[in-house]
Amino acid sequence: MDGAAASAAVDRDAADAQNAGAEMTPTFVINGKKLVGALPKEQFYEEIDSAARLARSGARLPY
């Protein structure tokens, strides 16, 4: 990838992130819920487990 292609790829990625609501790094989205900042791994486990429970129950996600 040349300099122009790399620059264009970075610009596209930045636009995608902005369109997704990412305003800083790190930003993660788990089943539509945005987690921002350096968070403890336990918070990720909790969010993933919660989303999995909802999916297994057939309930609709609240976000």
Question: What's the one-letter identity of residue 63?
Answer: Y
User: What average pLDDT score do residues 13-24 get?
Assistant: 88
Residues 22-61: tens digit of each pLDDT: 888 899 988 888 899 999 999 999 999 998 998 899 887 6
**Residue 62 pLDDT greater than 70, yes or no:** no
Residue 63 has a pLDDT of 59
d(CA 43, CA 23): 20
What is the chain's alpha carbon radius of gyration, rounded to the nearest angstrom?
A: 16
Residue 36 has a pLDDT of 93
What number of CA atoms fall less than 13 Å from residue 36's CA on the CB side? Answer: 7
Show the tokens assigned to 39. Answer: 């968070």
Residue 39 has a pLDDT of 95
